[in-house]
Structure 1
Amino acid sequence: MAEALTDDLVEEILLRLAPDDPVSLVRAAAVCMRWRRVASTRSFRRGFARRHRKAPMLGFIANLRDGHEGDRYDYVARFVRATRFRPFCPERRHRRALDARHGRVLLTTVPWKPTLEVWDPVTGELRELPSMPQTVTSWNAAVVCAAHGACDHLDCRRGPFLVVLLDSGPEMMHLFVYSSETGAWSEPIFGPPSPTYGVEMVPTALVGNALYFLIDATESILKYDLAARSVSVIFMPTGFTSDFAALTTTEDGVLGFAKLEKSTVEDGGLLGSSRVKCELRLLSMHPGPDGYVTWAENGSIELGSLLNVDASIESDYVAFAHGVGIFFVGTEDAWFSIDLKSGRVMEEDYGNGDTQSIVPYSSFYTPGSFS
């Protein structure tokens, strides 16, 4: 039966398989050599990505401490599967994941002097970047496809990339851009005065040609325009306070953020008892014609009833998977994922260790992805 089908029919069958179940495509490609050849071509990779458009979240990188208490050298960045995809090397010892985008993960060495690396979990390729152009203090970095504005980012993991490094110096903020094409860092791009509380080391957001970094204890956002190489600052809503906030994006390209809020409310009991209410508040940014921005409430998620926990919810970290609309929220004992579209809530098993933070990883995977 398999031999009776033309290559075009084989390709059409394979294109219809679900991208969030990569094993099904691998098994189908194993039917015979011809099916594997069809599924391993670059044209099939592009066609598969175009058919489905949105890369699935294959998993997430959990930044862990998995050693004995007091051990300074027990850091590990561990890939935790959300599908049946298995990376070549699921753990990177003495590493922390900073960012993930366009099939790549940005790592830094810890706890020694930071060295940046770009890792592709699908191919297993690990590329060490040259030393940072200056000694950094409060900093963060992001990885992005170099063809900003000219790429649909459906199959660009083999193409050139950029790493944008933001550092809060003693007086002024500096940005440096590493190019995989030149193999070197750029001259400094000077930004605004350094904020009081430095730069937040949390995943960035990409909207259009602009990267967004949380800074100043999440009280403001730094915008870096990749095309214009310009820097600006966006301020949070008046009266905004938060121990932690996560940058979010919508399908139509709107930047937003989410923050955890705890409050004490009366539970209606006869004795006037109260309980702790924990909500995930969602806001979106809307630029005005004069350059100023406004913020709009996009609703909230009451986490206590959803996760069946309340007081144990940690307020210092929340993560968001761009493109797929999944939040990660930590409690004292576990991490939960919340799918905004389906409403599905899952407790995530990241193995042994104390999870410090999470970086979601989204990518297409086909039998030819690693060739």
Structure 2
Amino acid sequence: MPLPDELLEEVFFRLPPDEPEHLARASLVSKVWLALLSDPRFRDFHGAPPVLGFLCSWRPNSVHEVEDNIPHFFPTTKFPGRIPDDDWGYFRYAAWDCRHGRVLLGDMDYEPVALVVWDPMTGCRRELDPPDQLGTSYGAAVLCAVAGCDHRACHAGPFKVVFIAVDRMEDERLVRACVSLPGAGDWSKPCSGLHLEPIPLWDEMAPVFVEDAVYIKLMYKEDDLNNSLGFAHVHKVTLHLWSRQGDSDGIGSWTQRTVIDLNNHLPIQNPNKRFRLIGSVEGNDIIFVTMGLDIYEISLKTLRWKKLQKREKLCGLISYMSFYNP
């Protein structure tokens, strides 16, 4: 006798979402199983989408820089990511951002700057015409464009891209931003410019999206990050954590919450190695750091470490989070 659908659901709910090969095999058994596995309740049961892999960008002079011009996706599960094998042209795409199941790729060396939104789940990609010249250095973020979406399985839906540019002026820098209009391929008018001191540099980490706001990070000295703004920062072997709070007037500010000495939590006894923060997982207390030639994942709740892989002149790591939908 076949199991009732309600019992099959209870079994399927307990298939690990970060092992999509089990979901793929089960979905091939029958149309009934496929329908049950595609039910939104599976995603509701597990909550936040799992990390299925990450994308890397390398420093100049890295051996990876001249291998090819396609995105570099490194799975943490058996989900490989679908990378189109057709011609990517002369662009040398790097991962700029990843959110809500989509990856934003860009080539800053090409004029005008080249932008592509890529869906690793389906392999689909869409090229975007950049906005009119706003500045001489750029950054961007990709977001779901559906109001009220829970972002658990919207990777194939409408999206928008936030484009930020820094323009050089005589004694200051002007930062401006615009947003792509979903479906039309056009861009909004640039917002009012933000005037900054001279010579701000883009940070190598991807933007962070918190409570309907996109945060980017600029720095003024490439080798001095002690006063950087963010929710987490590593200096030598010390971890600094910030939290953002609003006052009675609704004005938010960042306050240093915790300072943790990592010497007692190192996975290896080599305190002379320098740590470097290279990424985080939005919506989770997980950060990624490099130490020596290795990449580590750190849970800020438990301070447990997990070694991911070795690196080669790595400058940034962006996690790819999505539910696998058969």
- TM-score scaled by length of structure 2: 0.83
| 2:296 aligned with 1:332 | no
Shift in alpha-carbon separation, 1:303–1:195, aligned structure 2, 3 A: farther
Question: Aligned runs of 1:219-368 on 2, under 5 Å?
Answer: 242=225, 245=228, 247=230, 257-262=231-236, 278-290=237-249, 291=251, 293-302=253-262, 305-308=265-268, 309-315=270-276, 317-349=277-309, 353-367=312-326
Structure 1 position 323, deviation (Å):
2.1
Change (3 A) 1:111 1:34: same
Q: Deviations over 1:188-236 (max 9, x none)?
A: 11132134314434211222221111124499xxxxxxxxxxxxxxxxx
| Contact kept in structure 1, 2:108 and 2:138, CA below 8 Å | no
Q: Given that residues 98 and 107 in structure 1 are in contact (C-alpha distance below 8 angstroms), is that contact kept between their aligned partners in structure 2?
A: yes
Trace 1:149-188 onto structure 2 (pairs within 5 A): 150-170=148-168, 171-188=173-190
CA–CA separation in structure 1 for the residues paired with 2:142 and 2:56? 18
Structure-2 separation of matches of 1:54 and 1:329: 22
* Structure 1 residues 336 and 68, CA gap change in structure 2 (3 angstroms): closer
- Do structure 1's residue 212 and structure 2's residue 211 form an aligned pair? no
Distance in 1 between residues matched to 2:190 and 2:11, nearest whole Å: 50
2:114 partner letter: T
Give yes or no for contact 1:106–1:117 (8 Å, CA) kept in 2: yes
Aligned 8 A contact 1:87 1:121 in 2: yes
Residues 110, 74 of structure 1: CA spacing in aligned structure 2 closer, same or farther, 3 A cutoff? farther
3-state SS of the aligned residue for 2:11? helix
Query: Which of residues 79, 83, 103 in structure 2 aligns to 1:85?
Result: 79
Name whichever structure is richer in strand by fraction. 1
Aligned counterpart, 1:138: 137
Could you say if the C-alpha distance between residues 70 and 15 of structure 1 is closer, same or farther in structure 2, counting changes exceeding 3 Å? closer
Aligned to 2:138, what secondary structure does the other structure show? strand
Distance 1:107 1:218, change over 3 A: farther
Residues in 2 aligned to 1:320 and 1:303: alpha-carbon distance in whole angstroms: 21
Tell me how far 1:304 sits from its aligned partner.
7.4
Give the 5 Å matches for 1:19-58.
19-40=17-38, 44=39, 46-58=40-52
Alignment partner, residue 58 of structure 2: 64
Which residue of 10, 15, 18 corresponds with 2:8?
Answer: 10
Map of 2:107 onto structure 1: 109
Distance 1:339 1:357, change over 3 A: same
Q: 1:24 to 1:341 in 2, by over 3 A?
A: farther
AA aligned to 1:340 is: L
Residues 88/136 of structure 1: CA separation in 2 closer, same or farther (3 Å cut): same
**DSSP 3-state at the match of 1:190:** coil
**Any unmatched runs of 5+ in structure 1?**
220-240, 248-256, 263-277
State the alpha-carbon separation in 2 of the partners of residues 62 and 80 from structure 1: 8
Identify which range, 4-13 or 179-188, moves more after superposition: 4-13
Measured at CA, do residues 76 and 29 of structure 1 come closer, stay the same or move farther in structure 2, by a change above 3 Å? closer
Give the letter aligned to residue 146 of structure 1: A
TM-score, normalising length: structure 1: 0.74
Alignment-mate amino acid for residue 164 of structure 1: V
Residue correspondence of structure 1 range 181-196 to structure 2 within 5 A: 181-196=183-198
Percentage identity across paired residues of the two chains: 31
- Give 1:74 shift: 5.8
Which letter does structure 2 place at the counterpart of 1:289?
S
Distance 1:328 1:292, change over 3 A: closer
For 1:188 and 1:174, locate their aligned partners in 2 and report how far apart those are by CA, in whole Å: 6
The SS at the match of 2:216 is: strand
Say which SS state the counterpart of residue 73 (structure 2) adopts: strand
Number of the residue aligned with 1:235? none
Aligned length: 313
1-side partners of 2:310 and 2:281: how far apart? 17
